């Protein structure tokens, strides 16, 4: 039997084999890590979030999550990270996700929007334009600071001061110590009486904190995506092997 060997082809093949020894494994590992991280962002995390959160903004979780992909060739230090980062830099909804993931107190919830403050009067919708606390804060009148012989008189005086389109925090409290912020729709005089038409928009309680139960939605999503990493690695390793054929 005669074996013919092309020396040039052998040199080229050996060169490819040397490159594979240096970079193929790190590249396969890196690609597998990144595929898992992007699977969390694009698939398992949004799906898990739907199970535990009211989706007032369907794109919220994808839009505010980010992947820091694995880079370089050092397998020991290689990692891909996925998490949440507010686009505006001060999105409290994103900041609160840590407490909703692990459990804990969410502070700064003095104003909680009621259904009438939301688009279409639905609990499943966002606070409508023009009713956000950041937009109306300067137009809010606190009835507790008004003078009057009764809570009713204080409220009417505050409503007149705020005027139609203004906002008044009422004096009354419910069993949980919450007051109510009202939107003043109209103020009319009828038979010597002042009638204030208003709509309840927010539950108000200074220094309130909310303590949601831990959802672990991000942890569950990460573990679910991680179950596919073996196959990701196999697929990526095959790509590297195919390059030397």
- Using one digit for the tens of pLDDT, what is the confidence trace for 207-237? 777 777 788 889 999 999 999 999 999 999 8
What pLDDT, on a 0 to 100 scale, did the predictor assign at position 168? Answer: 96
Q: Domain total for the chain?
A: 2
Residue-range definition of the domain harbouring residue 53: 7-104+212-242
User: Are 136 and 223 contained in the same domain?
Assistant: no
Rounded distance, CA 150 to CA 230, Å? 71
- Helices 25-39 and 217-226, interaxial angle, to 10°? 140
What pLDDT, on a 0 to 100 scale, did the predictor assign at position 1? Answer: 37
Rounded distance, CA 201 to CA 92, Å? 20
User: Are 65 and 122 contained in the same domain?
Assistant: no
pTM: 0.65
User: Are 50 and 33 contained in the same domain?
Assistant: yes
Q: Which stretches in the chain have pLDDT values below 50?
A: 1-3, 5
User: Are 43 and 126 contained in the same domain?
Assistant: no
For strand 167-169 and strand 140-142, is the pairing parallel, antiparallel, or unpaired?
parallel
User: Are 86 and 116 contained in the same domain?
Assistant: no
User: Are 97 and 20 contained in the same domain?
Assistant: yes
Q: Identify whether the C-beta of residue 78 lies closer than 8 Å to the C-beta of residue 30.
A: yes
Q: Note whether residue 2 is domain-resident.
A: no
Q: Note whether residue 29 is domain-resident.
A: yes
Q: Note whether residue 189 is domain-resident.
A: yes
User: Are 71 and 115 contained in the same domain?
Assistant: no
Rounded distance, CA 230 to CA 188, Å? 72
Q: Note whether residue 221 is domain-resident.
A: yes
User: Are 70 and 129 contained in the same domain?
Assistant: no
Q: Note whether residue 83 is domain-resident.
A: yes
Q: What count of residues does the chain have?
A: 245
Q: Note whether residue 142 is domain-resident.
A: yes
User: Are 98 and 182 contained in the same domain?
Assistant: no
Q: Note whether residue 1 is domain-resident.
A: no
Residues forming beta bridges with residue 200, ordered by sequence position: 182
User: Are 143 and 224 contained in the same domain?
Assistant: no
Q: State the number of CA atoms in the 13 A half-sphere of 132 facing the CB.
A: 6
DSSP 191: T
Nearest CA to 62 out of 90, 36, 43, 37 is that of 43
Cβ-in-10-Å burial (0-12, 13-18, 19+) of 183 comes to: buried
Rounded distance, CA 189 to CA 132, Å? 30
User: Are 222 and 187 contained in the same domain?
Assistant: no
What pLDDT, on a 0 to 100 scale, did the predictor assign at position 213? Answer: 77
What pLDDT, on a 0 to 100 scale, did the predictor assign at position 132? Answer: 87
Rounded distance, CA 101 to CA 52, Å? 10
User: Are 97 and 117 contained in the same domain?
Assistant: no
For strand 81-84 and strand 167-169, is the pairing parallel, antiparallel, or unpaired?
unpaired
Rounded distance, CA 194 to CA 139, Å? 21
């Amino acid at each position: 039997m005669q074996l013919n060997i092309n020396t040039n082809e052998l040199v080229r093949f050996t060169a490819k084999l040397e490159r594979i020894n240096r970079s193929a494994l790190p590249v396969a590992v890196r690609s597998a890590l990144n595929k898992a991280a992007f699977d969390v962002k694009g698939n398992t995390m949004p799906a898990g979030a739907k199970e535990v959160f009211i989706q007032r903004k369907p794109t919220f979780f994808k839009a505010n999550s980010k992947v820091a992909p694995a880079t370089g060739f050092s397998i020991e230090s290689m990692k891909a990270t996925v998490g949440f980062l507010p686009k505006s830099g001060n999105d409290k909804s994103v900041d609160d996700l840590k407490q909703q993931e692990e459990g804990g107190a969410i502070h700064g919830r003095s104003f909680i929007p009621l259904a009438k403050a939301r688009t279409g009067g639905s609990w499943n919708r966002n606070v409508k334009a023009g009713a956000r606390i950041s937009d109306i804060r300067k137009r809010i009148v606190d009835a507790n600071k008004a003078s009057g012989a009764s809570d009713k008189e204080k409220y009417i005086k505050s409503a007149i001061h705020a005027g139609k389109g203004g906002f008044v925090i009422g004096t009354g409290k419910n069993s949980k110590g919450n007051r109510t912020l009202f939107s003043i729709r109209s103020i009319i005089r009828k038979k010597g009486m002042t009638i204030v038409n208003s709509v309840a928009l927010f539950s108000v309680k200074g220094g309130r904190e909310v303590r949601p139960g831990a959802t672990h939605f991000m942890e569950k999503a990460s573990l679910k995506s991680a179950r596919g990493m073996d196959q990701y690695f196999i697929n990526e390793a095959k790509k590297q092997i195919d390059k030397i054929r």
